[in-house]
Amino acid sequence: MKKFCLFTAGLFLQIVAAFSQQADSSAYKSRKLKIDEINLVSSYYRQDGNNAAVEGGKGSEKLTDLANVLDVKLITYDKRNRKHSFTGEVGIDHYTSASSDKIDLKANSSASSADTRIYPSLSWSVENEKTGNNFGFNISASTEFDYKSYGIGGHFSKLSKDKNRELSVKAQAYFDQVTLVYPVELRTNPGSGNGEHEGYGTSSRNSYSGSLTLSQVINKRLQVMLIAELVKQDGFLALPFHRVYLSDGTVRSELLPSSRLKIPLGIRANYFLGDKIVLRSFYRFYTDDWGLTAHTADIEAAYKITPFLSVVPFYRYYHQSAIDYFAPLYAHKTTDQYYTSNYDLSAFNSNFFGAGLRFAPPKGVFGIEHWHMIEIRYGHYNRSTGLNSDIISLHLKLK
């Protein structure tokens, strides 16, 4: 993974150097396909806790994740002067997990202790810059040891005549295949226990979502957006390697209903407090038919230290109730139809806070004209169940 990070950074800098040598002084809209924007985001995440779902709600939740995402956006114009944008993105995450290593309780270290996820995507959108109307489509994929996912989606947005109001509609579908890796003691054919594919079965999981957003410019300082979503999932929605210890001491694999309906509703407001401060706020209410309700509230303030250097502190508070099927260690009855001891589905409160530093000089980062921006962000997360985590990320943007 270190080699990958160095390779990615080197590749990015080579693209920056090549791009910075390009000169485009033309005033007309060229129909030639050209690079519009390149983004590289790298992050390191670590967490710790003592409620691992793999061990039935107890045990270490130590986990580290190193993620890298590179996207390239290309643009061109057609004969009707509509802007076509093509974006290709590839992400690679590599994680190590103490809890996943306990799928086999007797193993000191197994293949389950680490994994790599690769997730490419492609998108295309068409924008009429005169009217502001926009539509597009996207496809995506994601693969790791026990999970494969394929996605397809589309969107459409329309501006009002005065361009102060925008209505957007989005639809997305994911078609997933889950490899049924059960805890070693619950397998009918335990095999070698080394984490390799041993004839595991598979099951499907599908997700369909639609969203409607309405954004409105209230005045020169205030902008508001209303968001309504609907998400429907069906198929195998549990994770087979999550243990559940029942009240009689026996162990089973997590079992949850085969369908789930989610309804998130949100409002976002941005307020420009003078020339140096922008306040961004967001509230979301969530409910689903598993009995979970949640509230999210976050705020961030972007403060311009100089015209090209900004600091962005942020804070997010989150509260959720437990789903109807959650119970801690040894609390589930043998007669329960569904059961989980995954504390991600329990009742808890959480806090996430941190800050970012954004540097976007007019002549480019390090004097490279098209190297538009560099941003570093750090955040700390803690929740009432005892889980805590830290994440640091680096974002480089080339325009």
pLDDT of residue 7: 41
Average of per-residue pLDDT values in the chain: 89
Among 207, 218, 85, 224, residue whose Cα is nearest residue 155 = 85
pLDDT digits (tens, 9 = 90+) for 311-363: 999 999 999 999 999 999 999 999 999 999 999 999 999 999 999 999 999 88
pLDDT of residue 103: 84
pLDDT of residue 55: 94
Q: Are the C-beta atoms of 56 and 244 separated by less than 8 Å?
A: yes
Give the domain ranges of the chain.
2-20+34-398
Average the pLDDT over 13-21 and give the result. Answer: 46
Among 232, 280, 240, residue whose Cα is nearest residue 256 = 240
The two tokens of residue 279 are 């306040």
Confidence of residue 209 (pLDDT cuts 50, 70, 90): very high
| Strand residues in the chain grouped as ranges (E) | 34-48, 63-77, 83-97, 114-127, 134-144, 147-159, 165-179, 202-217, 222-235, 243-245, 251-253, 259-273, 277-288, 293-306, 309-320, 348-359, 371-383, 388-398
Fold of the 2-20+34-398 domain: Porin (2.40.160)
Work out the percent of the chain whose per-residue pLDDT is above 70.
88
Confidence of residue 67 (pLDDT cuts 50, 70, 90): very high
pLDDT of residue 184: 87
Does the model's pTM come out above 0.75?
Answer: yes
Average the pLDDT over 278-303 and give the result. Answer: 98
Whether 253 has a pLDDT exceeding 90, the answer reads yes
Question: Which amino acid type is present at position 368?
Answer: I
